[in-house]
A and B are shown apart, each in its own frame.
Chain A
Amino acid sequence: GQNIDQPTEMTATEGAIVQINCTYQTSGFNGLFWYQQHAGEAPTFLSYNVLDGLEEKGRFSSFLSRSKGYSYLLLKELQMKDSASYLCASMDSNYQLIWGAGTKLIIKP
Chain B
Amino acid sequence: DVKVTQSSRYLVKRTGEKVFLECVQDMDHENMFWYRQDPGLGLRLIYFSYDVKMKEKGDIPEGYSVSREKKERFSLILESASTNQTSMYLCASSMQVSGANVLTFGAGSRLTVL
Contacts and interface: CB of A to CB of B under 8 A. Distances in A.
Interface of A: 4, 8, 31, 33, 35, 40-45, 48, 50, 87, 89, 91, 95-102
17 contacts: A8-B40, A31-B100, A33-B100, A40-B108, A41-B107, A42-B4, A42-B90, A42-B105, A43-B90, A44-B105, A87-B43, A89-B43, A95-B101, A96-B58, A97-B43, A100-B42, A101-B41
A48 B101 CA distance: 9
B113 interface: no
Contacts of B100: 31, 33, 48, 50
B108 A96 contact: no
A43 B42 contact: no
A42 B35 CA distance: 12
Nearest to B4: A42
B103 A4 contact: no
A4 B42 contact: yes
Contacts of B106: 42
B102 A42 contact: no
Interface of B: 4, 40-45, 58, 90, 97-108
A74 to B, nearest CB: 19
Given A42-B105, A42-B107, A43-B90, A48 B42 contact: no
A97 B90 contact: no
Contacts of A98: 42
Nearest to A45: B102
Nearest to A33: B100
A96 B43 contact: no
Given A41-B107, A42-B107, A48 B45 contact: no
Given A8-B40, A89-B43, 19 more contacts: A31-B100, A35-B103, A40-B108, A42-B90, A42-B105, A44-B105, A45-B102, A48-B97, A48-B102, A87-B42, A87-B43, A91-B101, A95-B101, A96-B58, A97-B45, A98-B42, A99-B42, A101-B42, A102-B42
A41 B90 CA distance: 10
A86 to B, nearest CB: 12
